[in-house]
Amino acid sequence: MSPKRNQHTPLPRLVVISAPSGAGKTTLSSMLLKEFPQLQRSVSTTTRTRRPNEIEGTHYHFVDDATFQKKINQNLFAEWAQVHGKRYGTTRAIVNSLLAQGKNPVFDIDVQGAMNLKALYGDRILLIFIHPPSIEALRDRLIQRKEDSTESIENRLNNAYSEIQWSQKYDYQIINDNLQRAFQELKTIIQHECLERSK
């Protein structure tokens, strides 16, 4: 894998990781955050129902529709999007707070959010897309994860096709067939694109 950025572009300090639901984005980004304390996850706000294993403020800020709408009206979001029928957004406050602490924010967000952050932060954004090995493997992973209803799984699989089309716009694409190999690839990208350049 060869780096795609030329040496004169500004340092990409904000890392976006997108993937179709079930491709392994949460698994891989958690491994990454454990390995590099310099990276810190941006906690999004969502109208989706909390899953049993999720903690308010750690995985998401869970809010109702009216609260989310109020935040839109107050222009509090750097980006927000409707994904799988629910709303998800990144507040300006969280991005500014992470940058003020000198951290590299990591965003687990969808393709719409990725494009919006790219428009806002330009070359400071590093876009990484995680692919599943196949749609069949994606279905199996969503079923095995046991966190979504059959209807929600079908909805996520339908969205996967259009999400994958956006992957061409990303700086790097990783196929998560073998978890350790995909993680190695992700680490190499982060080391090269974020950490070495900040020295």
Residue 14 engages ligand 5GP in binding (rule: CB under 6 A): no
Choosing from 84, 103, 139, 187, the residue that interacts with ligand 5GP (CB under 6 A) is: 84
Shortest reach from residue 113's CB to ligand 5GP, in Å: 2
> Which two structure tokens, joined as six digits, stand for 23?
């491709």
**Smaller CB distance to ligand ADP: residue 97 or 152?**
152
Q: Which residue has the tokens 């900040």?
A: 198
Q: Binders of ligand 5GP: how many residues, by CB under 6 A?
A: 15
Closest CA relative to residue 76, chosen from 96, 62, 56:
96
Which contiguous run of DSSP H or E holds residue 140?
helix 135-145
Q: Which residue has the tokens 């890392």?
A: 15
Footprint on residues 23-82 left by ligand 5GP (CB under 6 A): 44, 48, 79, 81
* Sheet of strand 172-175, all strands in order from the earlier edge strand to the far edge: 39-41, 104-108, 14-18, 125-131, 172-175
Chain centroid to CA 10: 21
Contacts with ligand 5GP, 91-110, as mask; x by CB under 6 A: -----------------xxx
Residue 89 engages ligand 5GP in binding (rule: CB under 6 A): yes
Q: Which residues contact 141 (CB under 8 A, 6 or more apart)?
A: 22, 23, 24, 132
Give the residues lining the site for ligand ADP (CB under 6 A).
19, 21-27, 141, 144-145, 176, 178-179
> Which residues of the shown chain bind ligand 5GP in the complex (CB under 6 A)?
21, 44, 48, 79, 81, 83-84, 88-90, 108-110, 112-113
